[in-house]
Amino acid sequence: MALSDAIQLVDVARKATEAYGRPDLTAKLARTRDRLSDPSVRVLVVGEFKQGKSLLVNSLVSASVCPVDDDVATAVPTMVRHAAAPTAALVREPADGGEPERTEIPIGELAGHVSESGNPDNRQRISYAEVGLPRALLAGGLVLVDTPGVGGLGSAHGAATMAALAGADAVVLVSDAAQEYTKPELDFLATAMQVCPNVVAVLTKTDLYPAWRRIADLDRGHLAAAGVSTELIPISSAVRQLALRTKNKELNEESGYPVLISHLRDRVLGQAEQLARRSTGHDILSVCEQLTTTMSAELTAQENPEKAHELVARLEKARTAATRLKERTARWQVTLNDAIADLSSDVDHDLRDRLRTVMREAETLAEDADPADIWDQLAKWVQHQVTCAASANFVWASERSGALARRVAALFAEDGQVALPELPVATAGPAPRVAALERPDTRRISLGEAALTGMRGGYGGALMFFMPLSLIPGLAIAAPFAAVGGALLLGRKQIKEERQRALQRRQAEAKTLVRKHIDEVQFQVGKDSRDLLRRTHRTLRDHFTALADEMQTSIAESVAAAQGAVKATQAERGTRIGDLKVELDRVASLADRARALTAAS
């Protein structure tokens, strides 16, 4: 594994912390090691349906794991990751937020569960499927996620995809060479860039369309016009498949896949590795600094015992500062607590606001029509709007939490004074963990989905769809044809009045149902986002408190060591100085290696 050198270095550093009797630092490095040993890099394969997403994943891993069909095929997201032997499992996340349930299945049966034909509209309610394959490409930690294209990018699926994006390390946007980018695709891309900036555009089916070079140029133009700086890689899955079957190297080159693979390997995996290295380097460096603090304090005291008191006084001051950092009144603590409270109410308000708009519109819609005719559409529309609202709310909340983490980190560094290494927050410290709110969120989406049984919606259009239909019963301007019918209805006023009462009852019922649904969603989503923020709060607090603890321990030990130095005899002092210098050299060389790790990437 490419990160083995980083893991080795962490182990060395851990031994050192054990030797110097600093269990707090040992624990910290243990966490670093855990993070390193799970180097998953999630790459989301997204795009409109029938663009060749599943075939792309299949061709990448040279196995037929995702179902491919002339008709719409993929119904359930499929995660393809590395495993020693081929495995497949279905994961269902219960609607009430309990433990996900995992069912191992033979890999051959996978298609029956994840395809639209075997599992129409995902009636089996599978959250996602997991496939393990022994492939060199995946061994580096690459996880490919094939997403259903159903519904298009603007639909509820698109919204759910957007939420999943927040936790993805990279996005592959798949579009075929039949036509240039459409507006929904570019809109999606623009939003995606805000959540996950690592996007690579892939142009598929270049074997089929003579004008693919023109389309590629047009697409590049659209990307540039949208301010998206990403590569556009043209590929042909058909050629790649043939190359795999015939083991023909030239054909493989021709398919364009090697370019995509090297991009995934160098840019996506490489970048993730780089981040992992950098954060590991920072962790080790921070440990080294803590160790050095103690030792160099002692060394100073040993070398100049007469100045020891002065040193102790300075250290005491630093200790007070470090202790203050741990207190609840420390600036970063206050900021964190206040900001979390603010954020919590902001996020809640934002959600309420969004949902209230949906409700108001839904009520207007229900008033304008006979719910008996339009309920299906209305329900779909509400469902979709709610999903979109929850998604947008989530994306916004995660952006704000990221900003908060950075602000707290800056305050901490300012007050901490102790030469902290560049805080890991910006790389792989708490911030990315905070950003990893995506998992609860996908569950949150599925919660909403469960509430309105298995309905799917499409934005805008559902509304538009709904409006003209809603006009058919009475108003003469709806459809030209309805106008004709409307003229006829004039003579039937009486019947209309008779029916009026029943209609009003239906409308009231529909409104109650919508309100109930939105209430429920608000309750669930609100609870989830409060939980998320609480987790964010706890993560940040624990992280910085632990840092303050480390600092305090280091300084306390420095004080003890400096005080001890005064009592020592001349001879003892000479030996101790020699020892300390050697130890400091050792730590310095460890720090050098950590720095090299950071720089090497």
- Looking at beta carbons only, is 20 or 465 nearer to another protein? 465
DSSP β-bridge partners for residue 146: 45, 78
Residue 476 touching another protein (CB under 8 A): yes
What does DSSP assign to residue 452? T
Q: Which of 396/465 has CB closer to another protein?
A: 465
Stretch that binds another protein, among 126-134, 266-274, 466-474, 574-582 (CB under 8 A): 466-474
Closest CA to 237 of 74, 81, 78, 57: 57
Stretch that binds another protein, among 8-16, 389-397, 482-490, 583-591 (CB under 8 A): 482-490
Question: Locate tokens 């298609």: which residue?
Answer: 111
* Residue 448 binds another protein (CB under 8 A): no
CA 12 to chain centre: 32
> Is 440 one of the binding residues for another protein (CB under 8 A)?
no
For residue 432, state whether it binds another protein (rule: CB under 8 A): no
* Cα distance between residue 69 and residue 13, in whole Å: 53
Determine, following the binding rule CB under 8 A, whether residue 49 of this chain makes contact with another protein: yes
Minimum CB distance to another protein, residue 218 (Å): 6
Q: Which is nearer to another protein, 254 or 316 (CB)?
A: 254
Two tokens, residue 232: 């556009």
Q: Is 481 in the site for another protein (CB under 8 A)?
A: yes
* DSSP conformational letter for 155: B
Least distance between another protein and beta carbon 436 (Å): 30
Between 21 and 481, CB nearer to another protein: 481
* Contacts to another protein from residues 99-138, by CB under 8 A: 116, 120-121
Cβ proximity of 120 and 75 under 8 Å:
yes
- With CB under 8 A as the contact rule, the residue among 14, 384, 541, 543 that binds another protein is 384
How many CA atoms does the CB half-sphere of 280 hold within 13 Å? 35
Exposure b/e, 81-93, CB count within 10 A at least 16 = b: bbbeeebbbbbeb
Smallest separation (angstroms) from another protein to the CB of 86? 26
Footprint of another protein on residues 233-252 (CB under 8 A)?
236, 238-239, 242
Q: How far is the CB of 101 from another protein (least distance, A)?
A: 25
Give the nearer residue to another protein in terms of CB position, either 373 or 549: 373
497 binds another protein (CB under 8 A): no
196 CB burial (10 A radius; 0-12, 13-18, 19+): buried
What are the distances in angstroms from CA 515 to CA 24, 159, 453? 52, 22, 16
Q: Decide: is 445 part of the binding site for another protein (CB under 8 A).
A: no
Q: Is 21 in the site for another protein (CB under 8 A)?
A: no
Given candidates 112, 197, 460, 578, which one binds another protein under the rule CB under 8 A?
A: 460
Structure tokens at 203: 């142009």
R_g over Cα of the chain: 30
Task: Answer positive or negative: Cα dihedral of 247, 250, 255, 256.
Answer: positive
Shortest separation between residue 368's beta carbon and another protein, angstroms: 15
String marking each residue 148-167 x if it binds another protein according to CB under 8 A = --xxx-xx------------
Residues 252-311 close enough to bind another protein by CB under 8 A: 254
**Among 137, 139, 209, 331, interactor with another protein by CB under 8 A:** 209
In the bound complex, what is the minimum distance in angstroms from residue 483's beta carbon to another protein? 6
Binding-site residue total for another protein (CB under 8 A)?
Answer: 67
Residue selected from 472, 503, 556, 566 as contacting another protein according to rule CB under 8 A = 472
Least distance to another protein from the beta carbon of 366, Å? Answer: 18
| 361 lies in the binding site for another protein (CB under 8 A) | no
State the nearest-atom distance from the C-beta of 589 to another protein, in Å. Answer: 55
Q: Is residue 208 near another protein by the rule CB under 8 A?
A: yes
Q: Which of 24, 207, 520, 531 binds another protein (CB under 8 A)?
A: 207
Q: Count other Cβ atoms within 10 Å, centred on residue 376.
A: 11
Choose which of 123, 214, 356, 527 interacts with another protein (CB under 8 A).
214
CA atoms of 482 and 500, how far apart (whole Å):
19
| Cβ neighbourhood burial of 63 (10 Å; 0-12, 13-18, 19+) | middle
Q: Under DSSP, is residue 48 helix (H, G, I), strand (E, B) or coil? A: coil
Beta carbon nearer to another protein, 121 or 542 = 121
Q: Figure out which of the listed residues 38, 71, 99, 497 binds another protein, where binding follows CB under 8 A.
A: 71
> Could you give the angle at which helices 570-600 and 270-303 cross, rounded to 10 degrees?
160
Residue 224 binds another protein, judged by CB under 8 A: no
Choose between 218 and 259: whose C-beta lies nearer to another protein: 218
Q: Which alpha helices (H) appear in 417-492, and where do they start and end?
A: 430-435, 438-451, 461-471, 480-489
**Cβ-contact 457, 381 below 8 angstroms:** yes
Tokens coding 335: 């900021």
Listed as own residue / partner, the contacts of 22-27 with beta carbons closer than 8 Å and 24 or more positions apart are 22/290, 22/291, 22/553, 24/546, 24/549, 24/550, 24/553, 25/287, 25/290, 25/291, 25/550
Among 84, 85, 488, 571, the residue binding another protein under the rule CB under 8 A is 488
Sign of the Cα torsion 45, 228, 350, 150 reads negative
Interacting residues toward another protein by CB under 8 A: 49-50, 52, 70-72, 116, 120-121, 150-152, 154-155, 178-184, 186, 205-212, 214-215, 218, 222, 236, 238-239, 242, 254, 373, 377, 380, 384, 456-462, 464-465, 468-469, 472, 476, 478-485, 487-488, 490
